[in-house]
Structure formats: C-alpha cells, structure tokens
Amino acid sequence: MLDDDAEIHALFAGAPTTTQFKKLRKRIVRNTREAIEQYGMVEPGGKWLVCLSGGKDSYTLLAVLHELKWRGLLPVDLLACNLDQGQPGFPATVLPEFLSQNGVDHHIEYQDTYSIVVDKVPQGRTFCALCSRLRRGNLYRIAREQGCSAVVLGHHRDDILETFFMNLFHGGRLATMPPKLLNDAGDLFVYRPLAHVAEADCDRFARAMNYPIIPCDLCGSQDGLQRQQVKQILDGWEATSPGRRQVMFRALMNARPSHLLDPKLFDFAGLLRNSDKLPELPDPR
C-alpha cells in the first residue's frame, strides 16, 4: 500500500521510486507510528499544532503525520505552524508557499524574538536557551488560540540522545526530552512522534524529497555549542562501533531505579534482607 503511487499523500508526491527510498519511507512511518502508540499520544477529539522550522526534521514530521492521518491511522486534526522569529534573511515566503501548494492547513505567525535574544544575551554567549524559551512560550499561546490539545515537535532519536548526554555532562542529572510531556500549566501536551527515528533517516528522506530546507542561522551557525560537542562524541562512537546510538537509545527505555543512586526513585533505606524481615504471625482466629 505504501508503494502504490496512486495512493499517496501530496506531501509524498514525486517521491523516488527506488527500493532503497521505499524502505526508508516505510521505516520512518513505522517508527513514528510505534512511538505514537507506545507513548499514548492519540486522544479523542485531539488537535495537534505541528511546529515547523523549515528544517529536515520538521518536513519529515509533517509528511509522516499527514500520511498516517490520510490512511486513517492518526485520528486527530493537524494544523501546521511556523513561527517567524524575525531572523535577518529568513525566507518568510518559503513555508507558506510550500504548505499552500500541498493543501496543508497552516498558521504562520510573526514574532520578533530575535531582537530580544540579541539584546538580552551577552556577546559571545549562545542564543539557544533564551530563544527556545521565547519560541516555546509563543507556540503554547498559538496552540491555545487555535484550540489545539498538543504541541508537536520534530525532535528525533539523536536529539533525545544528545540531550541526555548534555544533562549528564553539564547538568548533573539523568534526563532527556521525553516523547510525551505535559506543560507546566497542565493544559497542553508536548509530543515528539519522531522519537524513534534516526537523524540520518530524516536527512536522507528530506533530501530525497527535495523539500525547500531553511537553515537555522540564529543558533545553528554558532561555534562551540555544547550540543555540537556531544554530537561529535556520538559520531565518533558510532564510527568505531556502528549501531552504538541505537543501543544507547534502548537503554533510555530500560531504566532500573534499583541500580542507580537516586533514593527518591528507589527506597534503599527500606531494603531488607530475608533474615531481617519480621516473621508472619499466625492468624488468631
């Protein structure tokens, strides 16, 4: 069914017909569907705000979600959204034209967060943290205004792994981006349906589809970012031991609190040997 060119969503129109691409497409669709089901992302009457940056990951997310919905496998409404943050040189017409041409319901909003970031962040420091907070706040607001129940992001498996190691190396905690999160206000879910999808697959897919990629010139071009350093470490491990990323990702799904050191997750103090346990008293009745 996925290989029938007569039965294909517009966002997949013109897809390569090679066996290699068909396998790639099937893998991405399968991994996305597995994550959606495994983490309970679908709710009756849901409406998702699908956030688009114009990068390879967000195009992949958009195409796969619309494919699943079109085939009756994702019973939610989808609203694509791009937040134009006022970056100098941002090609503001690319996404609206692409979405209109492909018949995708969308909302485009302009908010000049770039000027705020440049004004508030000291020279030489990276923009990512403040930029992310401002972007997320605006997306939450847009989701509420549009009647959405969830904000959907294009973070993939490698983003999740990199965030884990950033927290490990720099934050002193074991944490990462969860596939499903409730926002602080408790009124919106945050979903990451590409949680099981490799970054390399997103890259190959978006390039093969020839989507109009918009590079991130605000933070992606800054040198010395912690995320780039972690990515280089993971690339090195993957080069020497192919498949290492997937093994580490599976570890995040197989946590054992009794074999870590957090007493809030496991009652170490209350752990007893069999000889320390009180014997059961006979029933007096």
Q: To which H or E segment does residue 180 belong?
A: strand 180-182
pLDDT at 217: 56
DSSP type of residue 283: P
Q: Shortest CA distance to 194 belongs to which of 75, 85, 50, 71?
A: 50
277: exposed, middle or buried (Cβ count in 10 Å: 0-12, 13-18, 19+)? exposed
pLDDT at 8: 66
Q: Which residue has the tokens 């085939």?
A: 71
Q: Shortest CA distance to 173 belongs to which of 181, 182, 164?
A: 164
Longest CA pairwise span in the chain (Å)? 84
- Does domain 10-276 fall under CATH 3.40.50.620? My reply is yes
At a CB cut-off of 8 Å and minimum separation 6, what does 273 contact? Answer: none
CB 215 within 8 A of CB 59: no
pLDDT at 124: 65
Domain ranges in the chain are 10-276
pTM of the model: 0.89
Contacts 24+ apart (CB under 8 A), 229-232: 230/162, 230/165, 230/166, 230/169, 231/158, 231/162
**How many whole angstroms separate alpha carbon 7 and alpha carbon 119?**
50
- DSSP H helices, the chain, are 19-38, 56-70, 94-101, 113-120, 128-145, 157-166, 199-209, 226-240, 244-252
At a CB cut-off of 8 Å and minimum separation 6, what does 142 contact? Answer: 49, 81, 83, 107, 109, 148
pLDDT at 1: 45
| Helices 157-166 & 244-252 angle (0-180, nearest 10) | 70
CB 77 within 8 A of CB 106: no
pLDDT (tens place) for every residue of the chain, 285 residues total: 455 555 667 788 788 999 999 999 999 999 999 999 999 999 888 999 999 999 999 999 999 999 999 989 999 999 999 998 888 888 889 999 999 999 999 999 998 878 888 777 777 666 777 778 888 999 999 999 999 999 999 999 999 999 999 999 989 999 999 999 999 999 999 999 999 999 999 999 999 999 999 986 544 445 447 888 899 999 999 999 999 999 999 999 999 999 999 999 999 999 988 876 666 667 766
pLDDT at 78: 97
